[in-house]
Structure 1
Amino acid sequence: MISLAWPMGLFSKRVATWLRILMTQVLYIAPLFWFMELAQNMAWRQVNGDWGWVFPESPYHWFSFGSLILWAGCVAMLWSLHFFWFYPRRVKVWTRIAIATVFTFAGEWFGGYMAANVFGHPLQVWPGSPLVYVHWCAMFFWMSNCIIYHLVTVDVVDLTPAYDAPPDEEAPAAQTA
């Protein structure tokens, strides 16, 4: 947690740690999520007969390289939640997954809304969805993405800092005779 009572050196060290790890995670995880998005959209098409979400301005229509920026934002959101909220408060894994799923679902809607209404270039659109930029069915995809994020960053590659590891058992005090 960041506190105003910290000395400036400790604050800047904490921010530098957050930024260093964020850049590493964006480099590795954002492309992984992008490929997962392609697989999820292809799976949606296999099950339902049409693409789940489309990219109106993409020449490919069912995927867009422009969505990588939203995936970088997703990784930044997940890392920030972990660094500033989940880890300091020791939030349990399934609670983390549930909270992160809601945040990322809302983030997808917000990113789609901003792209279409503020920047004038709609990114993703879910045909037939009342929310336009995301569908309620996407909760399942977001939950799977949050599980993958947790597994990759903590359990497989350890793209989190050393403080995330469980504390070592303290060595027993030396006995003097």
Structure 2
Amino acid sequence: MSGAEGVDADPGDGRNETATQRADRNWNELLQEFRVFQTGTQILAAFLLTLPFQQRFTELHPFDVVVYLVLVFLAVTVTLLALAPVALHRLLFRQKAKAELVGLGSKLLIICLAAASLLFTGIVLFIVDFLLAPPAGIIAAGCVFVVLIVIWVVLPLVVRSQHNRHIQGR
């Protein structure tokens, strides 16, 4: 190790690691998050792709057909975005671009989560609308969207705020 490589990447965070070690650790953490994410979204995509082969699919109203098609394209988009870090890693392999991969991977995961929140909300809209009625579908989808916003946005922001206050209070 020479130069900056031997220096702790962030001396105040309690970890004794180089910038390269930190990038490797962060990349591994991102990949684990993507693995969890990919499984769920791929199962949802597979579910959507089987629906046209069901007998009752022919009973869909035009609105439901549009919602279904939007959901299929959204599921495919989410799946492709979730696989993007694999392609990026392969194309940038041994190019000493791990820090860039971590930054881009993090942004892609946030985009995936945003797109997945629309996908989950849309699936609830589609199913409840089909089984009950359009107003019930809209209410159910709205509830799911609110829950997503609370647990994926509000909760992390509250925890971050409390953490920052705790750090400043030291």
Same fold (TM over 0.5): no
Rg: which structure is higher? 2
- TM-score for the superposition, normalised by structure 1: 0.32
- Compare the two structures and name the one with the higher helix fraction: 2
The TM-score with structure 2 as length reference comes to: 0.33
